[in-house]
Every structure is written in structure tokens, then in C-alpha cells.
Amino acid sequence: MPTNLPGRHLQSLRWRLLRTVGLAALLGLAVSTVLSYRQAQHEAEELMDGHLAQSARLLLALASDDPQQLADLATRLQTLDRVGSSPYDPPLEFQIGRSDGSVLLRSPHAPSASLSGKTGYTASEHDGGPWRLLTLASTTGGYRVQIGQSIKLRDRAALEVARQAVLPNALISPLLLLLIYFSVRRGLKPLDDLASDVASRSPENLEALPGHGVPREVQPLLSALNRLLLRLREALNKERRFTADAAHELRTPLAVIKVQAQVAQLSSDAADRQHALRQILAGSDRATRVVEQLLRLARLDPLAGLPEPSDVDLGELAQQVFSEVWPTVATHAIQLQSDASPLLVRGDAELLQIVVRNLLDNALRHTPPGSTITVCTRREHGDLLLAVADDGPGVPPADLPRLVERFYRGHETLAEGSGLGLAISQRIAELHDASLEFANLAGGGFEARLRWRESAPAAHDFHSARRPIE
């Protein structure tokens, strides 16, 4: 189970549902219980009043002046009294008398209220508590009957009735809560299933989550998750491919270093050993270059834009790289052709120099000695171009679209490079909103161009603001 985070219950949908639905149900049950209780109590009181009136009428019917009959009645009531005592049958106390107030017969604990008062229900104090009295007068004779009940006992009976009426409610409430609990659990099960599916996954498993059985409300979340998983999968695959390629690319110089070191170790010839040692150094340089380029690419990759762009004149940039490179090249002729007017772009001069150097490097490696390489800047239909052209054999058309792929080397080529130079140049071009193009030239040779389109939205404002009047 997941760890218990503080406040986890506050965020849990299940807990919230359980709490609100449970509380609402309990509140409803409580209100209904109170109402039923009151109603039951009221009905019980009315019932007992009816009981009181019935008894009073019966006694009134039995009332007479005959002492013998009255004594007989008293005896009979005495013997019948308290047969089968129950809370619903509180003892009755009574007085039978005449309308002038004289008493003919009274029960032993009857309240001694006057019989000559007004008829109907009255309240009175007797025996240390309130009583409810009913006084009836006969319509024919002058008889009166007063019958009384202790309010305390009446209340006890009424309470008992009400209690019995609401008892089922009390019993139902835990059952109701249990039912709510299971319904909520069942309702949220698809979410739980989804959660446990995600939780049980290994980091390698980035397959889409299954959509069946998922409620409509969760579908958008699921789609979003699956889109994220897809992007992650792609990113991870790209990363893996890159790592594999990088490892492969480092392997060759490492193999060189190792085999030459062993040659140096095993060889007894001094000249052979010197040669092997020189090759070891060259191999380390090569490995270093691959690592540097990998690092450069790794640093450029996550950038969303240039950190500190400034105005760069392409002509000046080309001039700078050209003057650095040409003294070091003995095998090729290198020339510079620049547009007379400044070609200003917004960018990072250092990164753009890397591009020019990479393109020059490629031209040097892929053309036979004696070839001419031209670095040039020019304007073409409003586009700004920085290009490196050569008069070498060109690139097979099938290879053209794959040139910027990382670690891709032409099918025919024997030249050695990290295979990363053009991938880096491509990334730098992207950061500058420029495009990197390659083409075989009609008259033979090959040209790589960095092009800033006039219509490019990011560069447009800048160009229209900065371009000198033509």
C-alpha cells in the first residue's frame, strides 16, 4: 500500500465521498428519527387521553346513589386493579360524586380535586407531581366523574411508544453506512484498478494504459496519461539509440588505443613502438573529440532558444573562421566570398562559428587533396545565406537526407569523423530559426548552406527593422 502521507484523507476521493454521503445519510436519518419520535409521542398522548375518556364514561355509566351498588363497584375495581401491569397502562385514579361536589366513591390514591369545577381536561398537582385530570358530568343525573393520571407515568408510556417506533432507524444506520461504503468502493474500483496498474509497472513498461472498463469521467485523464506515456516512450527510445550510437562511436578509438598499446608492449622494434605510441595519442585525441562533441550536443539539446542572442554579421563571422582555418590547411585551397553589405542575423556568434568550422571540416575530409573550398555569404531572394561549397565529388543523392542524422556516415565514404558534426550544426541552426541545407552543385561539387528565410517569423521583424535600405 502507498505510504501514509499527512493529509492523505483530505485528498482521497473515496474518503470525501464516504464522508459526505455518510454524513448526509446520517443527518437524514436523524431528522426522520426526531420527527417520528415526536409524532409517536403525540399519538401516544392522544391515545391515552382517549383511554382516559373511555374509562371516565364507563364509570359515569356505573355511577348511582345506591350505597350497596357503589360498595360493590369499589370492591370489583379493587380486585381488578393492577391486573397485567404494563407501561402502556398506567394506573387510573378516580372520584365519583355529585355535581354539588359531594364524593360518593374514590379510589385510594385519587387526587382530591373538587368535583364541582369545570368539566374537561385539567392539570393539577398531586402526590408531588403533575397530574392530568378529566372531569365528566352525566347528561341525565347530577353525577360527576373525575379521572386522573400521573403525567410522569403517562410520559413514560409515551416515551416507550416513541422509542419502539424509532428503534428500527437506529438499527438501520450502521447498515446504511456499510452499504454506502461498499457502493463507493465499487464505484471507485476502476480508478483503483488504474492506480494499481500504474503503480505495479516497471519503469521500462511505458505501454499505453488499457481503456476498457474505465468510466467516462476518467477517460480524459487516461488519454492524457497515454499521450504522456507515448512521448516518454519516444524520448526514451531516442535516448537509448543515441547512447548505443555514442558507445559504438567511442569503441573504435578505444579499440585503436588498446591494440596499439599492446603492439607497443609486444614489439621489440623501437621504430614500431614509436609508431604505436603516436597512434595511441591520435586515438585518444579522436576519443576526446567524440566525447566533446557528445557533450556539446547534450548541452544544446535541451535548449529551447538561444540564451543571449546578439547581432551577428555573417560576413564578419565567415572572415573570422576563414582566417583561423586557412593557415592550418596545406592540402586544399580555401577561399572566401563575402557579400559587400553586412548580413545581420540575431544569434550566438560562437555557436555559428562551430557550424562554419564543422562544414569546413566536412568539406576538407570529403574532397580529394587539391580541391577548392569556398566559404561564402550572400543574399538570395531576400534570404540570408552562409555557405561552404567545394568542387569535390559531391554526395550520393540517397545520402543527402540522412546527412544530419547522428552518427550517420555516407555509404561510400571512407572519411573519419565522429558522425556528429552535422547533427550539432543542425541543432544550432534550429536554435537560430535557420535551416541547414545540402545540395550537389550543377557544375559538380557540393554545398552546405545555413539559410535564414526572409519569411521566417522570428527573423522577420528583425530583418525588416535592421536590413539596410537596398
Site residues (vs other proteins, CB under 8 A): 248, 251-260, 262-263, 266-267, 272, 275-276, 279, 282-283, 286, 410-414, 416
Which of 331, 406, 401, 335 has its CA nearest to residue 367? Answer: 331
C-alpha cell at 386: 552562409
DSSP 180: H
Which of 431, 399, 424 has its CA nearest to residue 290? Answer: 424
C-alpha cell at 470: 537596398
Q: How far is CA 461 from CA 15, 345, 382, in A?
A: 56, 11, 13
Residues in the chain, overall count: 470
By beta-carbon proximity to other proteins, the closer residue of 73 and 395 is: 395
Smallest gap from Cβ 8 to other proteins, in A, equals: 46
Residue indicated by cell numbers 609486444: 266
For 214-281, give the DSSP string: --GGGHHHHHHHHHHHHHHHHHHHHHHHHHHHHHHHHHHHHHHHHHHHHHHHH---HHHHHHHHHHHH
For 293-354, give the DSSP string: HHHHHHHHTT-SS-SS-EEEEHHHHHHHHHHHHGGG-SSSEEEEE--SS--EEEE-HHHHHH
By beta-carbon proximity to other proteins, the closer residue of 19 and 248 is: 248
b vs e for 269-279, b when ≥16 Cβ sit within 10 Å of the residue's Cβ? eeeebeebeeb
By beta-carbon proximity to other proteins, the closer residue of 292 and 416 is: 416
User: Residue 440: beta bridge partners?
Assistant: 446
Smallest gap from Cβ 261 to other proteins, in A, equals: 9
- Going by DSSP bridges, is the β-strand pair 372-380/333-337 parallel, antiparallel, or unpaired? parallel
By beta-carbon proximity to other proteins, the closer residue of 24 and 255 is: 255
Smallest gap from Cβ 279 to other proteins, in A, equals: 6
By beta-carbon proximity to other proteins, the closer residue of 268 and 455 is: 268
Name residue 88's amino acid: Y
Smallest gap from Cβ 253 to other proteins, in A, equals: 8
By beta-carbon proximity to other proteins, the closer residue of 22 and 410 is: 410
By beta-carbon proximity to other proteins, the closer residue of 191 and 259 is: 259
Q: Where are the beta strands (DSSP E) in 14-102?
A: 93-98
Smallest gap from Cβ 407 to other proteins, in A, equals: 11
Which of 148, 137, 125, 117 has its CA nearest to residue 51? Answer: 148
Smallest gap from Cβ 239 to other proteins, in A, equals: 18
Smallest gap from Cβ 350 to other proteins, in A, equals: 30
Smallest gap from Cβ 247 to other proteins, in A, equals: 9
Return d(Cα 266, Cα 264) in angstroms, integer: 6
End-to-end Cα separation, the chain, in angstroms? 73
By beta-carbon proximity to other proteins, the closer residue of 164 and 331 is: 331
Smallest gap from Cβ 327 to other proteins, in A, equals: 25
By beta-carbon proximity to other proteins, the closer residue of 77 and 282 is: 282
By beta-carbon proximity to other proteins, the closer residue of 150 and 260 is: 260
Q: How far is CA 46 from CA 43, 299, 413, in A?
A: 5, 91, 111
Smallest gap from Cβ 437 to other proteins, in A, equals: 25
b vs e for 284-304, b when ≥16 Cβ sit within 10 Å of the residue's Cβ? eebbeebeebbebbeebeeee
